[in-house]
Amino acid sequence: MYGRSNGATELKEGIETITTLQDENILVTGACGTIGSHLVRELLTHDPATIRAFDNNEAELFSLKKEFGDDPRTRFLLGDIRDQKRLELAIEDIDTVFHAAALKHVELNEYNPFETIQTNVQGTQNLIQASLNESVTSFIAVSTDKASNPTSVMGATKLLSERLVIAANTYKGDRETEFSCVRFGNVLGSSGSVIPIFLDQIQDGGPVTVTDPEMTRFIMPIKEAVTHVLNTHEVMSGGEIFVLKMPSIRIGTLAEAMIEEYAPKADHYPEAVDIDIIGARPGERTHEKLISTDECKQARELNNMFVILPQIDFTGYKEPDYSDVNRIKSEYTSEEEDQLSKDEIIDLLELNKSISAYSSVAGSQMD
């Protein structure tokens, strides 16, 4: 039997109902980030016993507490995943861990590599150890397309983070803890996302700064990202990396579409808003990968996602029956996917989040 629900069959057919979180005590690290905060919101709809929101950002944690503080199921914990002793207190009596804490800005991480290692690698190991000590039931780590065949410090540390999580299944002893990862690309409107930056530049009349118009990126709405994480929890057996199928965009097309759509709303003529090509930043690659060539032999294609099965053996793992599931023959990259048109891009932005909700968020181009 694969997973908690109906295993491989349910993965192939899609997941209709989340049932494994009811009455659970849940810890969300990085709870003030885009993924973490939406996870908290969504988890509260699945009748957990408690949710502990853990973050080192005092101001944002205070804001999150104002939003949910009246809910008796919520707790707001100030701390850092680099601090093992703080994690041990935070994880006491926890059943499920959603690990979304990370340093993620590509360029900043290139200039501060050891800080990135301390958070993304050592911090993840601290959380794994605390989870083993507490014998939690399940552990889901949120990863990124940059972990696949990485070219940046951030990507390399996220790859190591994934490997730490998967390997934890090999030395958990007789504990029933299941460790898995979920990997996806850029989330629309997140901190560091290109969209609020482009919008601010358009509102100022330009120029809109584009690193390379031929760059492509995987994108997804926040709701789909969070749903993917929860679906992963529903079916995980431990050792897998779950990869959501995602649309891809060309950065130049995104800039052009946003200028054409939103410049008139800011009282600017679209043709008067220039695009400046500024060149790629340190660590940045032209196209992203969600599955590399080396990972293909372990990957299986399902209806709405891929599953990368573990490469290492560990006691109790039984590969699910994917005899009728396609094996992956080539890497999954943003370059090879069909690119969204200008109209499709605008429809996606408007459908998933009102453009007026995008504020001047500090960050960089889409990483």
Among all residues, which ones are annotated catalytic? 146
- Which residues are CB-contacts of 297 (< 8 A; sequence separation ≥ 6)? 327
Name the amino acid, one letter, at 222.
Answer: I
CA 197 from centroid of its chain's CA atoms: 20
- 329: its two tokens: 């023959």
CA contacts within 13 A on the Cβ side of 71 = 21
The reply to whether omega before 207 is within 30° of 0 (cis) is yes
Give the separation between CA 213 and CA 217, rounded to whole angstroms: 11
Kind and range of the H or E run holding 307: strand 305-308
- Please answer whether residues 74 and 50 qualify as being in contact, where contact means their C-beta atoms are separated by less than 8 angstroms: yes
The four Cα atoms 17, 18, 22, 24 give a dihedral, to 10 degrees, of 170
